[in-house]
Amino acid sequence: MITKLIGKVNSTVKDLSPGAKTPEGYDIIGDVHGYAEELTILLKQLGYKEINGVYIHDKRKAVFVGDFTCRGPETRRTIAIVRRMVENLTGYAVIGNHELNVIGHFTKNDEGKTFKPATGSNKKIMDRIKQEYLYEKDLLKDDLKWIRRLPFFLEFGAFRVTHAYWSDENKRIIEEHIPKKKLTKKLLQKIFDHDNSFAEAVRQTTRGIEINLPHDLIIKDDRNIRRTNFRIRWWQDPKDKTFKEISYGNKFTLPTYTVPPEILFPFKVYPEKEVPVFVGHYCMSSDRMIPASNVCCVDNCVANEGSLAAYRWQNGRELKITNFVFQEKKGSSF
């Protein structure tokens, strides 16, 4: 029998729960996006066993980089899997931008209005999630409260985990605003109001560093939708580089001429000397998932015809593509 050990999650991880052994390694799992079946397949590939509804490994622990909700067909089931692992200390998780979208759509402020109702295609996603909880509205509320207690950053000593961008300054701002390790409704209001340092720190942490494109530069994606900003390589100084050189995780082609300095803004470049940091968010092909010696993206686009991926971390080893495990497609034999 697994004893449920629910506690506040600190950003600095210490595996010091009663009777717990320090794991021999960690499996950092990319954006699940509600694909629960693919997640169970990947966990089994990694050697986790389901015991009393909880996936557990004798020697390792899982770390989820956020965005385990939305897009796929089973957000409710995915949350249940991740939540049980976190609560029973067989896994950890951070908040991604899609968790914030779910919180914003389903959580009401003191006036009885939702903080940020979804629109367009996102509204369809939220309607589907609502259907999944059709007869369990109290469970939806409880799951949302649990998500609101998750951290934005995790530190494991030899490596770090966040959803889209690591900044010590953003970490300080966020942790100063959340002393009780919970996103209260007052804090949610600040996040969705946008115009404050806390909201900006949360936005960068969950969405990365995004640069607005010049007004006279018209870029359209493969759906013929005009894009007004683009994601960049926040582990490199963008000065005197081209749009294409600093681009990362954009599904549209950027020009090869130098970025005008007037559209750049100051941000903290992640130093090459720092420990490896694992992120999700960027939906990358397998050959682009380790863009720097100390940066690793574990999001292999399961929601866009890719695979669910995990990086098998062992202390003191450099990042290698051979350490990735990709979820086998249905029908494959283990």
H or E segment to which residue 51 belongs:
strand 49-51
- Would you state the structure tokens that stand for residue 87, as one six-digit string? 């609560």
With respect to residue 216, please indicate whether it lies within any of the assigned structural domains: no
**What's the CATH code of the domain at 161?**
3.60.21.10
Alpha helices in the chain (DSSP H): 36-45, 75-87, 97-106, 120-132, 137-147, 168-177, 185-193, 197-207, 243-246
In a structure prediction context, what are the per-residue pLDDT tens digits for the chain, which is 334 residues long?
444 443 344 577 766 444 456 788 999 999 999 999 999 999 999 999 999 999 999 999 999 999 999 999 999 999 999 999 999 999 999 999 999 999 999 999 988 899 999 999 999 999 999 999 999 999 999 999 999 999 999 999 999 999 999 999 999 999 999 988 899 999 999 999 988 999 999 999 999 999 999 988 888 877 788 899 999 999 999 999 999 999 999 999 999 999 999 999 999 999 999 999 999 999 999 999 999 999 999 999 999 999 999 999 987 779 999 999 999 866 443 3
Assigned domain for 225 exists: no
Does the residue 189 lie in any domain?
Answer: yes
Q: Is residue 176 part of a domain?
A: yes
Q: Tokens for 315?
A: 């202390």
Overall number of domains in the chain:
1
The token pair at 264 is: 């750049």
Residue 95 belongs to some domain of the structure:
yes
261 lies in some domain: no
Angle between helices 36-45 and 75-87 (to 10 degrees): 40
Tell me if 50 sits within 8 A of 264, measured CB to CB: no
Query: What is the spatial distance between Cα 45 and Cα 318, in angstroms, rounded to a whole number?
Result: 23
Among 292, 218, 291, 212, CA closest to 259: 212
Please give the distance of CA 37 from its chain centroid, rounded to a whole number. 19
The Cα–Cα gap between 68 and 48 comes to: 18
The pair of three-digit structure tokens given for residue 317, joined into one six-digit string: 């080893």
Q: Decide if 303 is inside a domain.
A: yes
Indicate if the alpha-carbon torsion angle 207, 209, 213, 218 is positive or negative.
Answer: negative
Residue 156 maps to a domain? yes
pTM summary value: 0.93
Can you read off the two tokens belonging to residue 194? 């946008």
Structural domain span for residue 65: 25-209+267-326
Pair of tokens at residue 4: 């449920």
How big is the chain, counted in residues? 334
